[in-house]
Amino acid sequence: MSLPDQASPSPSWGSSHRLMAHEKWKTQSAIMGSGVTEAIVEYAAPRAGMQVLDLASGTGEPGISLAQRVLPGGSVTAVDLSADSLEVAAQRARNRNLSNFSIHEADAQKLPFPDRSFDLATCRFGVMYFGDVQRALQELRRVLKPGARACFAAWGPFDQPYWDTTMKIVHRHVGGDLIEGADPFRFAERGSLSQALSTAGFQEVEESERNVPWTWRGTAEEVFEYAAAASIPFRAMLDRVPPESWPAVRSEIYAAINQYRVGDEIRFGAVVVLAAGKG
């Protein structure tokens, strides 16, 4: 989805727009998200033979990386509400000849699996969007084997380079609500995600912040086009920008983003929350 100088982003919205953005920028977005993927895979410590559940898998990570790590004998079950996203994930797994990666369209709040089915669970940038977090976490505990870990990655604070140079600038121009609907920064407050896990009955709960690479290989214009297309919670705010204001807004955004340029890369870095508990 392009953002021409004299127009606001398209008012139509849905998972198809987000998928198109991910497909258009799949190489750059994969590189940008690789630091978070590597962090949660390392944190989860998968072992060969494990049966892994990856919640809110989207287009495939960290499930695909985990599927490579649990061979021989292990498997990954990827769950998401979006059938379209899951089909992209399945194709990516096929491209890597991973026969131990399967997809299931399902709600995290009502998982279609028997009790005590999985040795490990992961969720990268998904727990913030669960409508009923406690119900989803309790469902997750149900399908985990006793003592199995559930590992989560969530966004840290809004005040960090990627958001400061994009959505924060837009918000400064238009005011009003920053976010509509589910809040991606729901668990940015220290201890809030671990508290949710404890309330849901998880044991040996832990939480930490991690600084990870968050790098875009390309232009500032591409960064903002991708951010605007992929960041659903900011959709309403973006739609409030008057068409005549976009040139000034974009100019300010591009200048801010380019402060993080190193050669052909834009190196933002990101702060994420990692949390885990045992079922």
**Domain coordinates in residue numbering, the chain:** 15-278
Give the rounded distance of the alpha carbon of 232 from its chain centre: 12
Measured in whole angstroms, how far is the alpha carbon of residue 62 from the centre of its chain?
10
> How far from chain centre, in Å, is Cα 175?
26
Q: Report the CATH superfamily, name and number, of domain 15-278.
A: Vaccinia Virus protein VP39 (3.40.50.150)
Q: What is the pLDDT of residue 13?
A: 31
Which pLDDT score is estimated for 11?
30
Q: Whole-angstrom Cα distance, residue 173 to residue 169?
A: 7
Amino acid in the structure at residue 44: A
DSSP H helices, the chain, are 15-24, 26-44, 63-69, 83-95, 133-143, 161-164, 167-174, 192-199, 220-230, 235-239, 246-258
For residue 71, pLDDT beyond 90: yes
> pLDDT value at position 232?
87
pTM, full prediction: 0.91
Residue 10 reports pLDDT greater than 50: no
Give the whole-angstrom CA distance, residue 277 versus residue 7.
Answer: 46
Q: In this structure, are strands 215-217 and 144-155 parallel, antiparallel, or unpaired?
A: unpaired
CB atoms within 10 A of CB 154: 24
For 153-197, give the DSSP string. EEE--S-SHHHHTTHHHHHHHH-S-S--SS-TTTT-STTHHHHHH
Dump pLDDT digits (tens) for 177-198. Answer: 999 988 999 999 999 999 999 9
Residue 8 has pLDDT above 50, yes or no: no
The amino acid present at 123, given as its one-letter code, is C
